[in-house]
Structure formats: structure tokens, C-alpha cells
Structure 1
Amino acid sequence: MLDLTLVAATDAALPTEPARVRHLIDGGWRDSADGATFERTSPAHGVVVTRAAKGGAAETDAAIAAARDAFDDGRWSELSGKARATLLLKVADLIDRDRERIACIETLEAGKPIAQARAEIEGAADIWRYAAALARTLSGESHNSLGPDMLGLVLKEPIGVAAIICPWNFPFLIVSQKLPFALAAGCTAVVKPSEMTPSTTAILGELLMEAGLPAGVVNIVLGHGEPVGAMMTTDPRVDMVTFTGSTAVGKAIVAAAAPTLKKVSLELGGKNPQVLFPDADLDSAIDAIAFGVYFNAGECCNSGSRIIVHEDIAETVTERVVALSRKVAFGDPLDEATQVGAIVSPAHQQKIDGYVKGAVAAGATVRLGGAPLDVPGLGGQFYQPTVVADVTPDMAIAREEVFGPVLSVLRFRTMDEAVELANGAAYGLSAGVWSENVHTCLEFTRRVRAGTVWTNTWMDGFAELPFGGMKESGQGRELGRYGLEEFLEVKTVQMRIGRTRAPWVTGRG
């Protein structure tokens, strides 16, 4: 019998019929022209929970055309910041009203715990409110120092039609890190959620229509990367693409978008280190390590999937992480007590297990877990909380994104070695440092190549602060004022005052 904390299947009622989900195009809900659909099976419960229209070329073309027309005729882009903000605030209120409905379907489709899903929906509403504030404070620059006969202006204008492609791990939260900023800037959009989690984005479409968003401003096409995502990244009527997902797909999007030179913003993978120095507050650090690696079953670009621990405390830290991991509640995501739910798909479960087996073959030691997990009463896919020690920097598990509840433990002796290990992966999304010495924290923060650095904490987030990565973790930023800037073009205006320009051609007449 595994010495783990398991939450067996609850008596919560599962849907008797799959939810029907359709495309939103030019203000109307549509089935696919060819009648094609696809189904989503709950990864925790093994029952079909969604039947969605499967988009093709016809639906994608119609959505792009609607967004293009809506932008070009100014029905949204020419509204005042106040008008745009007012609508975004209405959407936030509607998200709060429907939080339970959204959280339940996200739990069924993504396999995440219901308590976590509720918190994410609440956080998404906050982001919509923050974006509304940005819509009213958007401004450019004036330059009154160019001489008595010149005035310079820098205008910030919406970039145009934005293609927004979202992943399955945080489907409602991540679309809310993109879409409200696009709308605050005055852009129109075509949105494609993951085919594994289509429903909550469709619900967001319902709320946008209820709030009074003009037809065509936001269009939602359900389906797969081919052809939907591919058309969104290559169509010349689209002005920019913002994508969250794997680094491999991000690279493909950059290549596909190159012929039209459209802007591309990418939030990609991470192999995020937490570095523990000998003077770290271990009570806080151990809890943060468990949270960092098991939150969302490790299916998180910000997952703290590797810890880099000073050799003087490495064994103590490993033992304490293993002990605390046994207390983390894995199981039925519909139970309020569950902290870690299901793995999103059987294929992904196999990928996670392959990394662990590969590490063992390379000489690492599994101190806890390392295998799929059977949860009583459930037929879905789960993976044990897993701690892998004796990891060396050359192992795949130390360099590549596992995207599961698997922690790698590496050791260091000096600051230089810690920084080298932290920067050794191709990714640069986030990093953490644990020390009671502010000088240690600041030195590490300045030397590590990561878009976000947490000191004596892990994975706090605020709508006001930008989020994004360095190196192969992406380009561009979400959230904060920088998140709005992604959807803006800069236009310079040079105004001559009076007839003061000296003639270039002399001797006229």
C-alpha cells in the first residue's frame, strides 16, 4: 500500500450528456460547415464531458474575415478608452457571477482540482478589471523640445487583428492574460482554445456577447492546430499572433508567420530552478517546493521542477520534501480536499513516466513515486508525487520540461556553480532563490537568466507585474502595462508650426 494521501472518487454527479460547444463567429454561434465534431473525455473520470464543433478552413476564414472587418470599420478600435473599459468591467462581473459554472467544466475537461479552478477564475476576473484600468490610461508622448517651430507626438494605436492561441493547462486564466489586453488596446481577435479544453473559452464568448461586445470583435474557432492554428498564423489579414504552449510549437509559429512579418508574442516552456542556500528558511522553502512542483499536477510552465540545493543541506531538504510530498492530497478533482488532480491525457502520462525511467537508467535515484497512480473509484490517469535525487546536469530530466508532478534534485557548492546550473537549461522563464541574506538573493537575481525571479517565495502572481521568459521560454510579455504594449503599434507624428520650413529648392520662379 502506497504511503500517500489519496482522495477517492466522490459522489459528485457527473454530466449525463456531453456539453455542446460551438464556434463564435461574427456574433453568432455556429456548427462547422461539414458537421464535424470532436469529443473531450474527462482525464479524471473517463467519461465524455464535451462534444465540440471541429473547425476547418471555412470557419477559420470566416472568423478572420469578421475580425478584420470589425477592426477596419472602427466599431471597437475607435471607441473611447472609457467605453472599452466599461465593457471589460461588465465581463469581469459576469465571470464572477458564473465562477462555479466555469470552474466545474474546467475541472472536468482539464482534471484540475475544483478549489484551484475556482481560484483561477477569480484571478481571471481580476485581470479583466486591471485591463479595464489600462484602457482608460493608455497614452503616448509629446515632445515640445524640438525647437519653436516643431511639435512631436508619439501615438499608441491598436495593432489590428490578433490571433490568440491558448493551451489546455490553464484555459480560462491564460486567455484572460491575453484577450482583455487586446481589447483594451482596441484590437479585434480570433481565439483558438486547446482542443482538450474548449468549453470555458466558449463560455467567455457567451459573457462577451451578454456584456454587449459588438459582433465580430471577438471570434472563437474550436479545433486543432491544423488547419485552425496554422491558418491563424499565416493569414495576411492577421496582424499578430500571441501563443502560449510548447517551445517546439512556438518555433513553428515563428517560421509560419515569417512570410507575412506579423508580430509574434510567445509564452513557452520552462525548466525553472529554485536554489536553496544553507541559510534558507527550510520550513517555508520545503512547503514552496511542494507547491511549486505539484500545483496543477506539474502541468505548468512555471513549475518548480528542479531544485538546486547546497550540498550541506541537500540530504535534509530531500528527506523533508519526500515526507511532505506524502501529505499532498492526490485524487478526485471534484473533491474540495484534493490538491492534485489528473494528468491531461494518456499520452502525456506516458511522456512523464518516460522521463523518470530515463533518469533512473542514467543513474538517478527515485526517492518517492516514479509510477502511475491508481485512485480508488476513478478510471482516469494520475501520476504519483515523484522526487528524483542524484540528478546530474546532463540528464534530460534536468534540462527538459517534464510537465508533471516530478521534482529533480541537484547539488551545488558555490554561488558560481548555482548560477551555472540555473542557467544551464535552454529555458529562462522563472527562477527562485532561498536565503536569509539579501545580498545573496540580489546577486543571484541579477545573474540568473529568467523573466521572473522569486526570492523566498514561489509562484506569486499579480496582474500589475509582467510575465514572460528569456531564451527559449519565449518573447514578449503578458500582464502589466507591458501586456498592453504587446497589442499596440507606435506611430510618430511630426508637426511643423507655421510656414517656417526653409525651401530646399532655391531660385524658384
Structure 2
Amino acid sequence: MLYINGEWTPSVSNKSFTIYNPATKEKVGEMAYGNKEDTEMAISSAEQAFKTWKRKTAGEKSAFLKTFADQLRVRAEDIARTITLEMGKPLRESIGEVNLAISYVDWYAEEAKRIYGDTIPASSIDKRIFVFQEPVGVVAAITPWNFPAAMITRKIAPALAAGCAVVVKPASATPLTAKLIFEALDAAGLPKGVANLVTGPSQEIASTFNESFAVRKLTFTGSTEVGIELMRGAADTVKKVAMELGGHAPYIVFEDADLETAVDGAIASKFRNAGQTCVCTNRIYVHQSIADEFGQLFAKKVRKLAIGNGLDENTDIGPLINRESLSKISSQINDAINLGGKVIAGGKEVKFEQMEGCFFEPTIINYATDEMNIAKEETFGPIAPIFTFQSEAEVVERANHFQYGLAAYCYTNDFSRAIRMMENLEYGIVGINDEMPTTAQAPFGGVKASGVGREGGKYGLQEYLVEKYVSMKIKQN
């Protein structure tokens, strides 16, 4: 079912599509197969609802978001289980994602009360200058499959807090999570049309978003290639855009770092969600003086990670989302081996008698070089290549990828070096001795081809606002 104008409704075509568990290939559920006409109805509903929602007081919007957060808490267990069923991540990771999703709603419930304007000194005594912050209008949000709950609330919570109306298009692989989130919105008393859910073919729905002058902002999380195409399309109607795109995160370990901490951080960053995150470690740079020791400890711990169905409480590594992902990482491994790399842990597909999904061992490649494809291409899978370096200047130059600039990590106990690294790494997010910097109150986003705009904190709220400048001439006594 689609959620349009406050009602659950089948698609105009009456068609639906099936969602499968990537671990077992069993059917999980069905969703309506929406099309251009459905999307246009959702946009129209949002356009009408925006006229009244934007006039709600800060307190009213805040109160609604608090109720929405409470309704998500009631459904937290079901949402987490649905995430695992739809996209495969271990259940404990899904629970963590749901908690993150709720934290965004909690944060923006308070941030809704902190939208301020300005008064500016005028150039003449008979004028007064004001700047107001107003909601941008109808927002179209396209969300990814790897974080199907958190990426929705990270977009709709600030949009609603700002006074915008929203149409959400979730990834086709994970629409059931979106459905549960909209059930929570509905139960919280969402006014009709303020938020709408359309599922179906990505290209048709996205094109409809871009063609509509009613949609004033497009926010997207996904690949750089798709993001570029969406930005091109959005230019025709001069939309405000926010794009959180691909990443190729370096993970730098200096000789003075705490080795155990750095290894544990690398495992948490690289192998979370089977390496299928945009901010996960892609390239590990280790100072040559500790490279052997790091590699041995890293491999020892990685070999202990359990692979399996995400619903199994013992599972550390779930399935890949599809066979295309498996083919890509296999290709990167073969290329690395041909260019002198050595697999010191993992390296093979894993097959289970009772499960038909795509599983791959968490893999470490030693002696990685900059000529390998894995050094140039984003890896959405459980492969960790280890590169060595000799100096700070060298590793900074190699870590600053020519294309990507989303997240970077650095491990060092030298305070001055830490300052230099956070200043010299060309990334939107830098974790110093911190492998998981994402939090609701901080800005999330990249530079270069990793995107434009920010989500999270006061910065994420600003993305849904536009400034209105008013110059007023008054009579003097």
C-alpha cells in the first residue's frame, strides 16, 4: 500500500512487487508498485498540506515530533526485525539503527523550537531590515536500502520541524521498514498530506519529482552516479538539492596509536553491515613500522567473526544485498591478487545448505598498492586492504582521494598530529580515534563527489529553510 494524503491506498495500476530476504531468498512481503500518477497525487497532497503545516507554531511541530518518536519506540522491535529481514544486517545492528533513527526525531523535536531570524542595521534611519527563515516547501526524499530507517527519519524529521511537507521514496529492496515508519507517523496524528510514501520504480518516481515545480527540494542518499543524474534533472526546475553520495574512506594508523584500539575500530568500521555503508573504512593505511603487527592482530580477530543470517544472535556478518555486490568484490580481490596483494583472512564466498543468499567471508588483503582497483573504487562489501606508508605528508596525499570526500579516520596519540590530520584530510567527516562519529546532533555529509549539503544537527535543519529578506521603510516623527 502507498500512503497518500493520510490514507493507505493501492497503486493506480493495482500492481505490487515482492520483497525478499537477502539471506534466505524467502518472501518477506509485498508493496504497491506506484507510478508517475501516484507520485503526482502524493506531490499534490503535500503541496496542499504545506499551506497549513508551515503555519503551525514551533511548539505544535515539536509536540508532533515527540509523539512520532514515542510511536517509533512502541514499534522499535518490529522495525529492527523488519530491517534485518529486508536487507540482512545482524539484528543487533538493526536495533542500533532504530535507536539512531529515533534520536533524529528526538533531536528535531527540540530543534523545531530554535528557528531564528535576524534584524540587520539599515543604511538609513527610515528603514528597518529583517531576515526571516521560512520552510523551503514540498520536499522529495529518496532513501537507500542499507539504512532504511535512519535515512528516512534523518530527512523527514528536520523537514517537518522546518514546516515542510514531504514525499518519501524508499529503496525498492527495503520498503517495509518505510511502511512501519509511516504507520508510526499516522498513529502520531500526522495531518493529511504532510508526509506521503510512494514505492515503485526509482527512475519513474525520481523523474516525476524532478519535473514537478511543486517540489522545491530534492534530498537523496545513494551512489555518486545516480546523484549526479538527479542533480542534472533538478536543474530544470531549479530545486534546492542535498546529496549524500559515495565514499572511499581512508583509515590511517600511525606508529604511536594504540594498536588494539585501532584494530577493534577497523573491524567495527569496516565490517558493520558487511561493509555496505558509505562511511565504512575502504583503505587502511598503516605505518610501515607496525604494519606486520597490525596485520597479524587484525587477521586473528577477523577470522573469529561469524557469518550467517542476521536473525541469528551470534551473527557478526550478514549477507550481501545481491549477487552484483558479490561479483564486484570478487573482481576487486582477483585484481588485487594479480597485482601482488596477499589474502591473509577470508577471500571466499560462503554457501549454506539452508540459505540461498550471497555471503562472503570478511577479507583482509595485505600488500595493497595504489594501482589496485580497490584503491580507486568504492567497495560496498567486507574487504579490507592494508597499505603501508612512511610519513605523515605521504599518507595525507594518498588518503585524499581525487573524487571522494565523505569520511576519514585517523588513529594517533600525538595531539599535534591529530590537529594537523583533521585540518589536512579533505573529508566532510573526520574521526580521530573514533570509528563511529555519526550522531544526530552533528552534521553528516561530504565534499567533492561525495555530495552537497548536510544532515544532522542545526545544519540539517537549515537545509530545509530559505531566507526571506524584508526591507521596510517607515515614517519618522
The alignment's TM-score, normalised by the length of structure 2, stands at 0.98
Measure the CA separation in 1 of the matches of 2:114 and 2:241: 25
The answer for the alignment partner of 1:198 in structure 2 is 175
Residue 413 of structure 1: CA displacement? 0.8
Residue 362 of structure 1: CA displacement? 2.9
Residue 233 of structure 1: CA displacement? 2.4
The answer for the alignment partner of 1:156 in structure 2 is 133
Give the total of aligned pairs: 477
Q: Which amino acid aligns with 2:387?
A: L
Measure the CA separation in 1 of the matches of 2:376 and 2:402: 5
Q: Which amino acid aligns with 1:184?
A: A
Q: Which moved more, 1:475-484 or 1:57-66?
A: 57-66
**Gaps spanning 5+ residues in structure 2: where?**
none
Query: Considering only CA atoms, is the larger Rg found in Structure 1 or Structure 2?
Result: 1
Q: Which amino acid aligns with 2:43?
A: I
> Which of 28, 34, 37 pairs up with 2:7?
28
Find out whether 1:323 has 2:306 as its counterpart: no
Which string of whole-angstrom CA distances, capped at 9 and with x for unpartnered residues, describes residues 76-101 of structure 1? 11000100010000010111111111
Find out whether 1:348 has 2:325 as its counterpart: yes
Q: Which amino acid aligns with 2:415?
A: V
Which string of whole-angstrom CA distances, capped at 9 and with x for unpartnered residues, describes residues 411-446 of structure 1? 111111010111034100011111110011111110
Measure the CA separation in 2 of the matches of 1:86 and 1:451: 32
Q: How does 1:279-428 map to 2 (within 5 A)?
A: 279-375=256-352, 377-428=354-405
> Which of 483, 486, 498 pairs up with 2:460?
483
Residue 146 of structure 1: CA displacement? 4.4
Q: How does 1:114-263 map to 2 (within 5 A)?
A: 114-144=91-121, 146-263=123-240
The answer for the alignment partner of 1:265 in structure 2 is 242
Q: Contact 1:246–1:269 at 8 Å: present in 2 too? A: yes
Q: Contact 1:99–1:118 at 8 Å: present in 2 too? A: yes
The answer for the alignment partner of 2:68 in structure 1 is 91
The answer for the alignment partner of 1:435 in structure 2 is 412
Measure the CA separation in 2 of the matches of 1:84 and 1:329: 44
Task: Give the secondary-structure state (helix, strand or coil) at the position aligned to 1:407.
Answer: strand
Q: Contact 2:409–2:434 at 8 Å: present in 1 too? A: yes
Which string of whole-angstrom CA distances, capped at 9 and with x for unpartnered residues, describes residues 333-379 of structure 1? 11122222111112222222222222222332222222211246322
Q: Contact 1:265–1:475 at 8 Å: present in 2 too? A: yes
The answer for the alignment partner of 1:471 in structure 2 is 448
Residue 392 of structure 1: CA displacement? 1.4
Q: Which moved more, 1:345-354 or 1:485-494?
A: 345-354
Q: Contact 1:307–1:410 at 8 Å: present in 2 too? A: yes
Measure the CA separation in 2 of the matches of 1:184 and 1:375: 46
Q: Contact 1:69–1:216 at 8 Å: present in 2 too? A: yes
Q: Contact 2:210–2:237 at 8 Å: present in 1 too? A: no
Residues 394 and 233 (structure 1), Cα distance of their counterparts in 2 relative to 1, 3 Å cut: farther
Residue 463 of structure 1: CA displacement? 1.1
Q: Which amino acid aligns with 2:48?
A: D
Q: Which amino acid aligns with 1:114?
A: L
Q: Contact 2:248–2:401 at 8 Å: present in 1 too? A: no
Task: Give the secondary-structure state (helix, strand or coil) at the position aligned to 1:330.
Answer: coil
> Which of 33, 46, 49 pairs up with 1:70?
49
Task: Give the secondary-structure state (helix, strand or coil) at the position aligned to 1:151.
Answer: strand
Q: Which amino acid aligns with 1:379?
A: E
Residue 144 of structure 1: CA displacement? 4.1
Measure the CA separation in 1 of the matches of 2:354 and 2:7: 41
The alignment's TM-score, normalised by the length of structure 1, stands at 0.92
Measure the CA separation in 2 of the matches of 1:283 and 1:188: 47
Measure the CA separation in 1 of the matches of 2:142 and 2:402: 25
Q: Which amino acid aligns with 1:383?
A: F
Residue 320 of structure 1: CA displacement? 1.2
> Which of 487, 497, 509 pairs up with 2:474?
497
Task: Give the secondary-structure state (helix, strand or coil) at the position aligned to 2:281.
Answer: coil
Q: Which moved more, 1:86-95 or 1:139-148?
A: 139-148
Task: Give the secondary-structure state (helix, strand or coil) at the position aligned to 1:305.
Answer: strand
Measure the CA separation in 2 of the matches of 1:91 and 1:415: 47
Which string of whole-angstrom CA distances, capped at 9 and with x for unpartnered residues, describes residues 204-242 of structure 1? 111111111111111110012121122112322110100
Q: Which amino acid aligns with 2:59?
A: K
Q: Contact 2:303–2:346 at 8 Å: present in 1 too? A: no
Percent identity of paired positions between Structure 1 and Structure 2: 36
Q: Contact 2:84–2:311 at 8 Å: present in 1 too? A: yes
Find out whether 1:100 has 2:77 as its counterpart: yes
> Which of 15, 28, 35 pairs up with 1:56?
35
Residue 150 of structure 1: CA displacement? 2.4
Q: Which amino acid aligns with 1:432?
A: Y
Q: Which amino acid aligns with 1:295?
A: R
Q: Which moved more, 1:360-369 or 1:109-118?
A: 360-369
Measure the CA separation in 1 of the matches of 2:434 and 2:237: 42
The answer for the alignment partner of 1:42 in structure 2 is 21
Q: Contact 1:194–1:224 at 8 Å: present in 2 too? A: no
Residue 323 of structure 1: CA displacement? 0.8
Q: Contact 1:463–1:479 at 8 Å: present in 2 too? A: yes
Measure the CA separation in 1 of the matches of 2:387 and 2:314: 32
Q: Contact 1:271–1:304 at 8 Å: present in 2 too? A: yes
> Which of 448, 458, 461 pairs up with 2:435?
458
Q: Which moved more, 1:219-228 or 1:293-302?
A: 219-228
Q: Which amino acid aligns with 2:29?
A: T
